[in-house]
Chain A
Amino acid sequence: MERNLAHIALFAALIAVLGLVPAITLPFGVPITAQSLGIMLCGTVLGAKRGALAVLLFLLLVAIGLPLLSGGRGGLGVFAGPSVGFLIGFPVAAFVAGLIVERWQAPVAAAALLGSVLGGVIVLYAFGIPGMAIMLGKTIPEATALTAAYIPGDLIKCALAALVTRGIAQMRPGALLSRG
């Protein structure tokens, strides 16, 4: 109980802190923060249930007015903005990523990569694109075109999530709760 609670709380804080770090710089110089990487890590490291709860806790803190989303955004306004679908998809993304690492007994890096791609890209965009389509009054293909620019960066994050998860498995095997 205490261990679950502490992990959920600390990973909610980790998502926020990773939103400040320019972890990836794309070739044409666009820095990408590691915030959605934090979402993937919640699933792949903590497992489905704890991961999703950590993300929900993070979103709750954003909603009540802490500026924790990347770029210092926060408050109820972000839930009325065009990216609301992605925010709703965040906990589901962590859950799916965690479920795959828990259930698929492949090497950790492979399971975390598949989990991140399915959860952190496919499931996340399945929420984000309709959300944007509704908020901006566009069709699904039009909203897809608007978000497509972010997919390469997200795929890099999936690879990084797999590397980090494997690194944790090697350095602290007992700490990888998704395989515990």
Chain B
Amino acid sequence: MLTLTSPVETPFHRLPAGAKLGALCLFTALLFHLNSPLPLAALLAALAALHLTQGGTFAAHALRLLRPLWPFALVIALWHLWQRDPAGGATILLRLLAAVMAANLVTMTTRLSDMLALTERLATPLRHIGLAPRAFALAIALTVRFLPVLSQRVAEITDAFRARSPRRPGHRILIPATLAALDDADRVAEALRARGGAG
């Protein structure tokens, strides 16, 4: 299964996940307290430099993760140029880029297993409101396991439709896909019960 963790090994990979998450929260809070473009530009430049010291592949990966932001960046840039407020627009854009880049950096340098362990630790207090840690871990594992299974089922449903009709399958796959999820859920529930339950 594909994850967003970078295959390029960096020193950040060795930091504990909890510390990275805490640092990210502080950094993001700081970004929202800065209201002029210069300090934000300095922080963004520092962040970019940090990426570049880890090599071109790593930096290119980070840049790719920022791509979904360009429509927003375009709208903000045009809007603030039209309003003759370039400083305001730059503040918003730099803050947005720095916040997303920092968060992506944590994601890129933390293995999925470390993230999972951290999540389970953070979720332990929730057992007081009825969320058993074992059920929580099991739900995550089941979802991850069934992503490729359901994906395959939807591909089969689509192929079957194409074999019968020249039309685009579009929304016609929705009912069979939902039924597939419901039926699989029933079978998984039975299998879990047969193996001693989820609790």
Contact = CB atoms under 8 A, between A and B. Distances in A.
B139 A79 contact: no
Contacts of B86: none
Interface stretch (A3-11, A85-93, A99-107, A110-118): A3-11
Contacts of A16: 143, 147
A61 B3 CA distance: 10
Contacts of B189: 2-3, 5-7
* Chain A facing B: main interface SS: helix
Contacts of A79: 103
Given A57-B140, A136-B76, A164-B174, 11 more contacts: A5-B198, A6-B189, A9-B143, A10-B181, A17-B177, A25-B170, A34-B171, A66-B144, A74-B107, A77-B104, A81-B69
B59 interface: no
Interface in B110-158: 110, 112, 115-116, 119, 135, 138-140, 142-144, 146-147, 149-151, 154, 158
Contacts of A21: 154, 158, 173, 177
Contact of B96 (A12, A25, A71, A136): A136
A6 B100 contact: no
Interface of A: 1-3, 5-14, 16-18, 20-25, 34, 37, 41, 45, 57-58, 60-61, 64-68, 71, 73-77, 79-82, 135-138, 146, 160, 163-164, 167-168, 171-172, 175
Given A10-B150, A12-B143, A14-B150, A168 B182 contact: yes
B170 A61 contact: no
A1 B175 contact: no
A137 B154 CA distance: 40
A7 B4 contact: no
B182 A175 contact: yes
B4 A172 contact: no
Contacts of A77: 65-66, 100-101, 103-104, 107
A11 B147 CA distance: 10
Contacts of A64: 112, 115-116, 119
* Chain B facing A: main interface SS: helix
Contacts of A171: 175, 179
12 contacts: A2-B193, A7-B185, A13-B143, A13-B150, A22-B170, A23-B170, A57-B143, A64-B116, A64-B119, A66-B112, A68-B147, A81-B72
B192 A5 contact: yes
Contact of B198 (A1, A57, A65, A168): A1
Given A80-B103, A146-B75, A164-B175, A61 B182 contact: no
B146 to A, nearest CB: 4
B40 interface: no
B159 interface: no
A65 B185 contact: no
User: Which 8 A-B residue pairings sit nearest by Cβ, starting from the closest?
Assistant: A75-B107, A9-B142, A76-B103, A64-B115, A77-B104, A80-B99, A6-B188, A10-B185
